[in-house]
Amino acid sequence: MATMAVQMDGGPDKIPLRLKLQRVERRRKLMSFTLVLPLLLFILIAFVWPIGRMMFNAIHDDTLLTLMPRTTSALSAWDGKDLPDESAYAALVEDLKQAWARKTTGVIAKRINYELPGAGSQVTSSARKASTLSAGPYRSTLIAINPIWGQHDVWIVLKRGHSAYTAYYLLRSFDYQFGSKGQIVASPPENAIFRDVFLRTFGISIAVTAATLLLGFPVAYLLATLPTRTSNLLMIMIVLPFWTSVLVRTAAWGVLLQEHGIVNELLITLHIISRPAELIFNRVGTVVAMTHIQLPFTLLPIYSVMKTISPSYLQAARSLGAGPFYAFWKIYFPQTLPGIAAGCLLTFILCLGYYITPALVGGAADQMVSYFVAHYTNEDLNWGMASALAAILLGATLLLYYAYNKLVGVDRLKMG
Amino acid sequence: MIAGALAATGLMAGALIKPALAGDQLTVVSWGGTYQPILRKNVFEPFSKATGIKITEDVYSGDIGKIRAMVESKTVSWDVIDAASSGAWIMCDQGLLETIDWNKVGLDRAKFGDAGKFNCGVPSQINRTIVYYEKNNPNPPKTIADLFDTKKFPGKRGLWKNPYPNLEWALIADGVPIKDVYKVLNTPEGVDRAFKRLDTIKNDVIWWTTGAQAVQLLANRQVIMTAAWTSKASNELFETMWDAAQGGFSWWAIPKGSPHLEEAYKFLAFAGSPQPQADVTRDAPYGPANKDAMALVDPKVLATLPNTPERDAIAVNTDFAFWIDKGDELRQRFNAWLAK
């Protein structure tokens, strides 16, 4: 009976209503999917894929595998205990000859230099000399050419080169490296900088986030409570910096904070200090300039949440006997939390990627992770390190976001 | 695979909107700023007039990562680049530049002295990193040791955020004769000694990365003296100290895979020839790299050049073979030292 009713409802073409509805629903979904498809494709092609591919460089490095094919394959059977046998030396000579002829020794030397600082130039000079060798025994000849080939560690590096995947760059980003037997050891102190750099990056980001919150909250409150005309005017002043480039704003801080700059001159004239204070090219300058740039990002979400809080709650609290501070703290402040959370998260995550501001107003010891990513990409051409550092920063950010979501709940964030 | 990926990472747009390959044209890339108009007037325009090859200019700031991306993804849109010191050495070492066929250039390689020993470029000019200080300074620095003397010269000093000339200068300040600098720096003890000396001024240094920053630091009296590349503006604004001046080189180089190799070689031959090299000196105080150009330089500007015989006598003759060999290692150490 019921089936019949449905079939009758389905009309003359005998298609049940349920299916018809489903079909309409599917078409609508397809339609909306088609509408977002261009953006989705754009994000995939121009964002997700290239970033993913670049990150892949953090673990993928086939330099030695492709440029020293004979040596790496000869070493795959080597047990790594004593020096390898004659066949490995013969393979090495072949590879070095080929590298010399194809002018790829520089690339090989650079790769070996990462793991064995100083070995690169020995490899190059060995290649120059090996290019003239014609007959064995290669082992004793090579060791005579350069004692490095009588050492264990360079062979271990070459053996690791048999795999196109390496943990070297990621280890290095945490100040670890491979030891002479292939075990993981701490980097020597003169090269161990990255743990500091990551801690510094998070430290500066936390400091800037806290500073923007302290400065931004009262202003947001003022904006939300003042009459519209005044608050609009103030709002324009807050948004105004957005119309100037970050570079210009950072450079402006240089003028203000330098040794004979406006701030120092003013403080000296007022007899607050007798000698110019060091305000720039150090942590102070970095945090001040970053706070200025990030202020609106923290302030605006708080403001828009405050705008939605009805004044009657506070009035009710006051009329029930709460003091002004008690009413504010117990009634008003908790309602602004979603805005504070959104503003702080936005600022914190943006701060993690700062590059140009610390470069211009910070000192050498204030550079954040992005600086090293840029340095390795653009100046040193060590893309493995650049990718590893970037991947770790991205991973840490996602992890923080996840923890934040678990603790606060992203759906509770309010941008307004 | 890498090539394909790179095309997407950095050069997607470049690959898509690659200009149609017109017949005789060349994309030449230099450093912009006040320098590029000088090149335009004295090198690019005369070259176009002489050969009929049109030059399209582009600007970079030494970010050689872009060039690696171009070469590896085989989408090279820069035909000739103005490559300076370490950037040039790294690119040559990594196989990103054409090895120069001097027969094709048609110039005498020996005329370029030390700079001509580089395999991947035709020398364009010689500059120097020197010490500038304020005019009317009652206590002027006289030697490079003064740069390292924070007792006699208290205050901040500006230095180039780069291993050279700082390692060389540190050793000279520490008593190493100029001619032995590279011998000492070639030993682990020598490197330690240089860094130890740099340690003594680390808290008194403001590091700069661009030429304009160095000038700015001194002009704003943020520093009492600064290392800086020689420039016309600085020479007018400040006093110069030439002791242990470090020679820097620039080369015209061709990224591997340039689609206009023939035209690029024609450009290298022209830009390396005496007349344009001499002409540039009228507007910029750089020394011509081609020794024959010295005879064509206006006697009035001769004294402003960084490579006069008196200045050459007290300069550090940069051993770029050493830097190609050891640069990687020393750069790693220098940057770690800086970041601490």
Percent of chain B with pLDDT over 90: 77
Concatenated DSSP letters of B88-129 = HHHHHHTT-BPPP-HHHHTS-GGGGGGGGG-TT-EEEEEEEE
Choose among A236, A226, A241: nearest CA to A306.
Answer: A226
Q: Which residues of A touch B333 (CB under 8 A)?
A: 117, 190-191
Q: What are phi and psi of B41, to 5 degrees?
A: -70, -40
Cβ–Cβ contact A283 with B under 8 A: no
Helix (H, G, I), strand (E, B) or coil at A200: helix
Q: Please give the pLDDT value at position B90.
A: 92
The answer as to CATH 3.40.50.620 being correct for domain A194-412 is no
Q: Which of B60, B222, B319 to mutate against chain A (most A CBs within 10 Å)? A: B222
Q: How close, in Å, is residue B8 to chain A by CA atoms?
A: 6
Q: Closest partner residue to A121 among B12, B99, B325, by Cβ?
A: B325
Q: Closest partner residue to A50 among B9, B86, B93, by Cβ?
A: B9
Confidence bin at B321 (pLDDT 50/70/90): confident
- Determine the residue of chain B that is closest to A377 in CA distance: B65
Amino acid residing at A21: L
**Contact yes or no for B210/B84 (Cβ under 8 A):** no
Q: Is the pLDDT of residue B69 over 70?
A: yes
Confidence bin at B12 (pLDDT 50/70/90): very low
Q: Please give the pLDDT value at position A46.
A: 93
- d(CA B12, CA A45) in angstroms, rounded, equals 10
Q: With a CB-CB cutoff of 8 Å, which residues 99-118 of chain A face chain B?
A: 103-104, 106-107, 109-110, 113, 117-118
Confidence bin at A10 (pLDDT 50/70/90): very low
Q: Please give the pLDDT value at position A416.
A: 55
Q: Is the pLDDT of residue A293 over 70?
A: yes
Amino acid residing at A108: I
Using the beta-carbon criterion (under 8 Å), do A46 and B62 form an inter-chain contact? no
Choose among B88, B15, B85, B29: nearest CA to B60.
Answer: B29
Q: Closest partner residue to A110 among B62, B94, B209, by Cβ?
A: B94
Choose among B33, B29, B28: nearest CA to B283.
Answer: B33
Choose among B82, B252, B227, B92: nearest CA to B163.
Answer: B227
Choose among B23, B37, B88: nearest CA to B249.
Answer: B88
Q: Closest partner residue to A120 among B206, B328, B340, by Cβ?
A: B328
Give residue A155's Cα distance to chain centre.
Answer: 34
Confidence bin at A393 (pLDDT 50/70/90): very high
Q: Which residues of A touch B209 (CB under 8 A)?
A: 359
- pLDDT one-digit tens code per residue, A238-275: 988 888 899 999 989 988 999 889 999 999 999 999 98
Concatenated DSSP letters of B120-174 = T-EEEEEEEEEEEE-TT-SS---SHHHHT-TTTS-S-EEEESSHHHHHHHHHHHT
Using the beta-carbon criterion (under 8 Å), do B340 and A54 form an inter-chain contact? no
Q: Please give the pLDDT value at position B19.
A: 45
- pLDDT one-digit tens code per residue, A15-39: 888 999 999 999 999 999 999 999 9
Q: How close, in Å, is residue A177 to chain B by CA atoms?
A: 15
Cβ–Cβ contact A146 with B under 8 A: no
Using the beta-carbon criterion (under 8 Å), do A197 and B62 form an inter-chain contact? no
Q: How many CA atoms lie within 13 A of A107 on its CB side?
A: 21
Using the beta-carbon criterion (under 8 Å), do A193 and B68 form an inter-chain contact? no
Give residue A132's Cα distance to chain centre.
Answer: 47
Q: Please give the pLDDT value at position A167.
A: 94
Q: Closest partner residue to A281 among B12, B93, B206, by Cβ?
A: B206
Domains (ranges, CATH) in chain B?
2-127+249-306 (3.40.190.10), 128-248+315-339 (3.40.190.10)
Using the beta-carbon criterion (under 8 Å), do A54 and B9 form an inter-chain contact? yes
Q: How many CA atoms lie within 13 A of B310 on its CB side?
A: 6
User: Cα torsion for B58, B286, B84, A361, to the nearest 10°?
Assistant: -80
**Contact yes or no for B93/B329 (Cβ under 8 A):** no
**A/B interface, count of CB pairs below 8 Å:** 107
Residues in chain A: 416
- Determine the residue of chain A that is closest to B8 in CA distance: A50
Q: Closest partner residue to B325 among A45, A124, A258, by Cβ?
A: A124
- Specify which residues B217 forms β-bridges with: none
Can you read off the two tokens belonging to residue A126? Answer: 């060995």
Q: Please give the pLDDT value at position B6.
A: 43
Q: Which residues of B touch A109 (CB under 8 A)?
A: 93, 328
Mean of pLDDT values over A228-237: 92
User: Cα torsion for A375, A380, A381, A386, to the nearest 10°?
Assistant: -40
Choose among B100, B128, B104: nearest CA to B116.
Answer: B100
Q: Which residues of B touch A364 (CB under 8 A)?
A: 161, 205, 207, 338-339
**Any idea which residue has 């110069």 for tokens?**
B240
- Helical segments of chain B, H only: 2-9, 12-16, 35-39, 45-51, 64-72, 85-93, 102-105, 144-147, 163-173, 181-185, 188-199, 211-219, 232-237, 261-272, 274-280, 299-302, 309-313, 320-339
Using the beta-carbon criterion (under 8 Å), do A193 and B9 form an inter-chain contact? no
> Which residues, including other chains, have CB under 8 Å from residue A343's CB and lie 6 or more apart?
A212, A213, A216, A297, A298, A299, A300, A301, A302
Q: Which residues of A touch B335 (CB under 8 A)?
A: 193, 375
**Contact yes or no for A89/A138 (Cβ under 8 A):** yes
- d(CA A171, CA A244) in angstroms, rounded, equals 40
Cβ–Cβ contact A124 with B under 8 A: yes
Confidence bin at B15 (pLDDT 50/70/90): very low
- pLDDT one-digit tens code per residue, B190-215: 999 999 999 999 999 999 998 889 99
Q: Closest partner residue to A365 among B90, B333, B340, by Cβ?
A: B340
Confidence bin at B217 (pLDDT 50/70/90): very high
Chain B positions touching chain A (beta carbons under 8 Å): 5, 8-10, 12, 62-66, 68, 86-87, 90-95, 99, 156, 161, 205-207, 209, 220-222, 325-326, 328-329, 331-333, 335-340
The predicted model scores a pTM of 0.89
Q: Which of A378, A382, A389 to mutate against chain B (most B CBs within 10 Å)? A: A378
Choose among B205, B267, B318, B335: nearest CA to B81.
Answer: B267
- d(CA A3, CA B3) in angstroms, rounded, equals 61
- Determine the residue of chain A that is closest to B222 in CA distance: A259
Q: Is the pLDDT of residue A11 over 80?
A: no
Q: Is the pLDDT of residue A95 over 90?
A: yes
The DSSP H or E segment spanning A357 is helix A356-361
* Complex ipTM: 0.88
> Which residues, including other chains, have CB under 8 Å from residue B188's CB and lie 6 or more apart?
none
Using the beta-carbon criterion (under 8 Å), do A109 and B93 form an inter-chain contact? yes
Q: Please give the pLDDT value at position A414.
A: 65
Q: How close, in Å, is residue B162 to chain A by CA atoms?
A: 11
B25-B31-B33 Cα angle (round to 5): 115
Q: Closest partner residue to B339 among A113, A193, A383, by Cβ?
A: A193
Can you read off the two tokens belonging to residue B31? Answer: 């450093």
**Contact yes or no for B131/B227 (Cβ under 8 A):** yes
Mean of pLDDT values over A297-310: 93
